[in-house]
Structure 1
């Protein structure tokens, strides 16, 4: 369990660092050097990949609800770092929200049980597969819409589905054993739907609104599905603290996602 918690915390730090690198890269965009060619943007992608590896390790040791909640805490680090690096404004309500996030995440982490499901039922794979098809259809239907929140919901569910699929992977006897399982393919496909929808949502709407809807969806829904579908364990007598922690942490995330501290830094003037 300790390995899972440390991996989730490291993934949270890496995700926050990747976001800051990519945010800084947007300041350096020039006509002949677009964002995809900026070294900081590329470095951010590498850091993101390292964060994903840590997330996978965490999901092999902790319930989905615990890992997703810890990852959602990256917005706290981003707000604090942006204040130092970009002189962003941190309002009094933001400070309260940071405390709420930390308190909520502590309750959620303490609620995680030690038992890991020994096997995943065929029903779980069927449900995840049907959900994947439904998400793909939903993404197509809302793709050209003028509102960002439906796309953000689909993105949150897509990345949440990725976490559920990682959790559902059974320990293989070898590479061939891994390839014969449906879960790895679900990981890739859920991730593709989530990434495409999130990118489109950022084009349609503001970063703050998209981030708020995305994080709430990504934290709440997969965690509850993991308990109901995959048998993720909650410590005996800790269901109420878990619920309180989720509510408090999500409320803090929503406030911070809409904070001026999350606004992208002003671009540098290009001569």
Structure 2
């Protein structure tokens, strides 16, 4: 489990740094529908962010093989603590006491969960569950596309799109956990692989629009909630993730502290574009 936790923390570092670059890339393009979202992906800061996110996802994938979903998802949410620190260093944003406290809450919460977490049971579902996740990924992509066109310039557009992006990234984590193995040619015919691809692309495109159209704080907070809470519950209820005997309250407290800290740090998802 120690190696899996290390991979989860590496994922947080990569993804937290990627957020700054992705926001910079998104802000280089004038908002305006799905076309603008695609154009943003060609901006060099966004490309750097995607590369870092890819490394982060690889680390997350390996961590999911030996660490419960609730711990991995909390670590990924803890990427916002990394984002805050990188923003402070690169963008010279001064952290206030409340932000330092939030960073401490994230780190402390992860430490509590690391102490309390049991080894994941290796539950990877069955063929029907993996097929259901693919169907859900495609359905979520269609819903996200439809809503992105119909929401218009509403007050909470960024939060709604951020939540959709978060749910999509949650599907990515669940589908990755459902993979029974990482060897070819089995991966080519596994529905969970295609669920990862569909939801990953959906999450990225919707997140770009969320970053462009309104408060990045709202978008990031909604994304964190969407990508952490339901996958953690899914792992416990459907995949048999457990804590050490008698330490479930400690794990719950750690999860709550980590997510609360991440939500406090959500404003650091917003990286104002400097002169580049």
Q: Deviations over 1:134-173 (max 9, x none)?
A: 423431342131322222111111111111111111126x
Does the aligned pair in 1 maintain the 2:131–2:191 contact within 8 Å?
no
Aligned equivalents of 1:118, 1:26: Cα separation in 2? 38
Does the aligned pair in 2 maintain the 1:26–1:35 contact within 8 Å?
yes
Aligned equivalents of 2:208, 2:28: Cα separation in 1? 20
Partner residue in 2 for 1:64: 69
Partner residue in 2 for 1:8: 8
* Cα distance, 1:203 vs structure 2: 2.5
Q: Deviations over 1:91-133 (max 9, x none)?
A: 2211221111111111222232114225523453354245324
Partner residue in 1 for 2:266: 257
Partner residue in 2 for 1:187: 196
Partner residue in 1 for 2:217: 208
Does the aligned pair in 1 maintain the 2:19–2:269 contact within 8 Å?
no
Following superposition of structure 1 onto structure 2, how do residues 39-50 of structure 1 map, counting pairs within 5 Å?
A: 39-50=44-55
Q: Does 1:51 align with 2:56?
A: yes
Query: What is the SS of the residue equivalent to 2:185?
Result: helix
Structure 2 runs not aligned, ≥5 long: 30-38
Q: Does 1:167 align with 2:174?
A: no
* Cα distance, 1:75 vs structure 2: 1.0
* Cα distance, 1:23 vs structure 2: 5.1
Q: Mean alpha-carbon deviation: is it higher for 128-137 or for 190-199?
A: 128-137
Q: Does 1:152 align with 2:162?
A: yes
Aligned equivalents of 2:25, 2:199: Cα separation in 1? 27
Following superposition of structure 1 onto structure 2, how do residues 236-255 of structure 1 map, counting pairs within 5 Å?
A: 236-255=245-264
Per the normalisation by structure 2, the TM-score is 0.84
Aligned equivalents of 1:152, 1:27: Cα separation in 2? 16
Aligned equivalents of 1:170, 1:179: Cα separation in 2? 12
Number of residue pairs matched by the alignment: 262
Does the aligned pair in 2 maintain the 1:12–1:71 contact within 8 Å?
yes
Aligned equivalents of 2:23, 2:160: Cα separation in 1? 24
Aligned equivalents of 2:3, 2:201: Cα separation in 1? 28
* Cα distance, 1:39 vs structure 2: 4.4
- Flag the 1:268–1:247 CA change in 2: closer, same or farther, 3 A: same
* Cα distance, 1:89 vs structure 2: 2.7
- Flag the 1:37–1:115 CA change in 2: closer, same or farther, 3 A: closer
Q: Mean alpha-carbon deviation: is it higher for 157-166 or for 120-129?
A: 120-129
Q: Deviations over 1:201-238 (max 9, x none)?
A: 22322211100110122111111111112222322222
Q: Deviations over 1:63-101 (max 9, x none)?
A: 111111111111112212222222213122112211111
Structure 1 runs not aligned, ≥5 long: none
Aligned equivalents of 2:192, 2:231: Cα separation in 1? 15
- Flag the 1:24–1:189 CA change in 2: closer, same or farther, 3 A: closer
